[in-house]
Structure 1
Amino acid sequence: MLGCVIHGRGDLRVEELPVPEPGPGEALVAVRYGGVCGSDLHYWRHGGVGDFLLKEPMLLGHEVVGTVVSYGTPDPSAPATGTAVAVHPATPCGVCPECADGRRHVCRDTRYLGSAARFPHVQGGFAARIVVPAEQLRPLPEGLELRRAALAEPLSVALHAVRRAGPVAGKHVLVTGSGPIGCLVVAAARAAGAARITVTDLLPAALEYARLAGADTVVRADDPADAGWPSEGAEEDAVDTAVEASGAAAGLDTCLRLVRRGGVVVQLGMLPPGPTPFAGNLVVSREIELRGALRFDTEFDQALRLLAAEPALDGLVSAVVPVAETESAFALAADRGRSCKVLLDFGG
């Protein structure tokens, strides 16, 4: 079978790999689509994500959907063979203090598909056949096709970020960054009842995807004269909640300056390694709540239901590329002026 293996910075290979065999409690899944994520691009471009550096070759990918082929042991509670499924990429330990506190998404000993956060690395899902714990399989809701279901993992991230923001119904939400995650934050905020959503980005093409996802106003981040900007310091025009999805210090600064007094800013984008300067005095003087958001847990099931109900989100999939052309798919995904979400097609 073919799989996408990263060996180091700039060294991404499509390789022939042996088909794995499922053990007790495991399922063999025939992968159809895998979404190229920003973290996959970081491994390709930089040989790591933040402080998590590659120490051995690793199969990339954690946004995968496909069909169940077989199980290592019979499990009547699991989806039947042939069922279309999405794969939840996280396996929390279940015993650490965070898991016991109901925060499994920040488990200190979790295993996450395609991650170099631990060694040996957790091999990912970009292969024609993968073995995963059977409990990580989620049958697709009726009417949800595999292509759109491939958005479930990033949408789960977005849903968790909106959940971290608190109630947004009837509120004005600002999203900085309209990459795939930012666009899906728009969809998540809309589903949660936001009354107005403003999105900023540097690229006009990316902002058009934000409109497709449900943004009311889009603003060029490098154009302070753009009429769509909320007015800094104008209390009547301040946003209630801001989600920073660009991973840039400038985006965080924008959120802190435009959110109202007592408002909430959620840092979702992964900032560059090392210290990040920010307008900390605003956090104090306006009593702004600055919260982090990492991954997700039960939001994965909510994401599948939302995708089934919102077929327009399929428009965020800008390209589907055969696995044999993986490097060109990564180059396309890295060019935000030409793409939103790029999927690899493993053929089922």
Structure 2
Amino acid sequence: MSPSKESLKFSKENTCLKLTSDRQLVIDSEPIPICGRNEVLVHIKCTGICGSDIHVWKAGGIGNLQLKSDLILGHECSGEIIHIGSEVTEDFEIGNKVAIEPQLPCGICFLCTNGNMNLCLNVDFMGMPGMPGRSPSIHGSIQRYKTLDPRFVYKLPDNVTYEEGALVEVLSVGYHGIQKAGGLELGKPCAIAGCGPIGLATLILAEAAGAYPIVVTDVSQEKLNFAKSLVPSVYTYKVQTNLSPKESAENVRKLFGKTEYEMPSVVLECTGVASSINTCAYIVRRKGCLTILGVSGRNEIDGFPFMQLSFGEVDVRFINRYHDSWPPVINLIASGKIDVKKFVTHTFPLEKAHVALETVSNPAISTIKVMVKDDEDSLTL
């Protein structure tokens, strides 16, 4: 039998960041959750702020996932196990440092049983509004204590920090995109559009996979410089907004060479912006694959060059989140094959989590990954 809340020792209340139904950010306190027999109770130590958090705040949802009630945000997270339910069979101990996969699929639909759990229509996803008529909204990780299904909690090696553990979610998007694209091989060219967190995660994973040359694009020279600091061998192209997608693509292609054979057969689009997607459609080599990782929240893409892709028999693929990525990504971080420490540019204590979201949403402040941390040294503006 699991102990009651009163029998556990909590040094602090369950402080949280709540997005109200009228889209106000409020520092609040929720009841400390009681750990069920098949759950683990985790003290959330670190949560990264995602662009989707900002979109839900500013727009009231993403696509048909619309905010209907108060919601605790956050899903890129790590923490420390502080209680283990009596029927948990996984190999956990109190004090384990863990990274948390934020999706909980139903496990019984045809998508789950076919191994495509990331496409489950009945998924519970932390910190996101629920699917209409299906899954409810599930409170996220910008709170001190959270109960979790142990099947989606992964132990971190001693040499992996809480910040790196929280970054596994971002890296998983890039990992799944590279897996879905296929064809990324040693010494083969690759183009990546966008130097936000997902684009940078995709870059370091592509470099670890042996792709070369790699060209990254962005409208920000500062972000391109950051990409170069992560992977010195990368070629960069600053997007000129006065050029058409086709003109921009011609400039990017010149960085790869002169012949069609030298052009990238793998192009990974990490912004979700229509002009960038359309540019990538002109960059990719014939018989290649354009994989779209970025999500803008829009339902339609203007100016998509259908015939360009059709004549070249180019595969166009999409991803939705990830699956089976936490263990390999943790292994890559622990082994030192990828280094993500530079990703974290700002940290804030839990009690100032609202400032973290305001920082990410402020175009005057240059950020890569902003973290909300609890019981850790934090920096504030």
TM superposition score category, shorter chain reference:
over 0.9
* Corresponding position of 1:161: 177
Alpha-carbon contact 2:47-2:74 (below 8 Å) kept = yes
Please show how residues 262-277 of structure 1 align to structure 2 within 5 Å. 262-277=287-302
Match among 299, 317, 324 for residue 291 of structure 1: 317
Match among 134, 139, 150 for residue 155 of structure 2: 139
1:328 aligns with 2:328: no
Q: Which amino acid aligns with 2:146?
A: I
Q: Which amino acid aligns with 1:154?
A: V
SS at match of 2:299: coil
Match among 159, 182, 188 for residue 171 of structure 1: 188
Report the structure number with the largest CA radius of gyration. 2
SS at match of 1:230: helix
* Corresponding position of 1:213: 230
CA distance in 1, matches of 2:210, 2:369: 24
CA distance in 2, matches of 1:120, 1:88: 18
Superposition deviation, residue 75 in structure 1: 2.9
Q: Percent identity?
A: 26
SS at match of 1:13: strand
Superposition deviation, residue 234 in structure 1: 5.1
Please show how residues 283-322 of structure 1 align to structure 2 within 5 Å. 283-310=309-336, 312-322=339-349
* Corresponding position of 2:285: 260
- Residues 202-234 of structure 1 deviation map (CA, whole Å, 9 limit, x = unaligned): 112222232233261111112769997223995
Question: Structure 1 regions of 5+ residues with no counterpart?
Answer: none
Alpha-carbon contact 1:184-1:213 (below 8 Å) kept = no
Alpha-carbon contact 1:27-1:132 (below 8 Å) kept = yes
Alpha-carbon contact 1:217-1:228 (below 8 Å) kept = no
* Corresponding position of 2:9: none
CA distance in 2, matches of 1:275, 1:247: 11
Question: Structure 2 regions of 5+ residues with no counterpart?
Answer: 1-13, 377-381
1:129 aligns with 2:142: no
CA distance in 2, matches of 1:87, 1:115: 15
- Residues 293-323 of structure 1 deviation map (CA, whole Å, 9 limit, x = unaligned): 1111111111111122336311011111112
1:338 aligns with 2:366: yes
**Count of equivalent residues:** 348
CA distance in 2, matches of 1:9, 1:254: 37
CA distance in 2, matches of 1:68, 1:219: 44
Superposition deviation, residue 50 in structure 1: 2.1
* Corresponding position of 2:113: 100
CA distance in 1, matches of 2:39, 2:203: 35
* Corresponding position of 1:247: 272
Q: Taking CA–CA contacts closer than 8 Å with sequence separation of 6 or more, which of the two structures ends up with the larger relative contact order?
A: 1
Superposition deviation, residue 156 in structure 1: 0.6
CA distance in 2, matches of 1:228, 1:316: 28
Q: TM-score, structure 1 length as denominator?
A: 0.94
CA distance in 2, matches of 1:219, 1:265: 18
SS at match of 2:195: coil
* Corresponding position of 2:3: none
Q: Which amino acid aligns with 2:283?
A: L
1:80 aligns with 2:108: no
Q: Which amino acid aligns with 2:200?
A: C
SS at match of 1:297: coil
Match among 69, 74, 85 for residue 82 of structure 2: 69
CA distance in 2, matches of 1:141, 1:160: 22
> CA separation of 1:12/1:234 partners in 2, compared to 1, >3 Å: closer, same or farther?
farther
Alpha-carbon contact 2:192-2:216 (below 8 Å) kept = yes
Match among 17, 24, 32 for residue 30 of structure 2: 17
> CA separation of 1:178/1:8 partners in 2, compared to 1, >3 Å: closer, same or farther?
farther
Q: Which amino acid aligns with 2:236?
A: V
Superposition deviation, residue 142 in structure 1: 3.7
CA distance in 2, matches of 1:34, 1:196: 33
Superposition deviation, residue 10 in structure 1: 4.3
Tell me the C-alpha RMSD between the 2 structures.
2.1
SS at match of 2:252: coil
* Corresponding position of 2:252: 229
Q: Which amino acid aligns with 2:190?
A: V
Superposition deviation, residue 174 in structure 1: 0.8
Superposition deviation, residue 289 in structure 1: 0.4
Superposition deviation, residue 325 in structure 1: 1.7
Alpha-carbon contact 2:195-2:217 (below 8 Å) kept = yes
Alpha-carbon contact 1:78-1:135 (below 8 Å) kept = no
Decide which structure has greater strand share.
Answer: 1
CA distance in 1, matches of 2:137, 2:260: 48
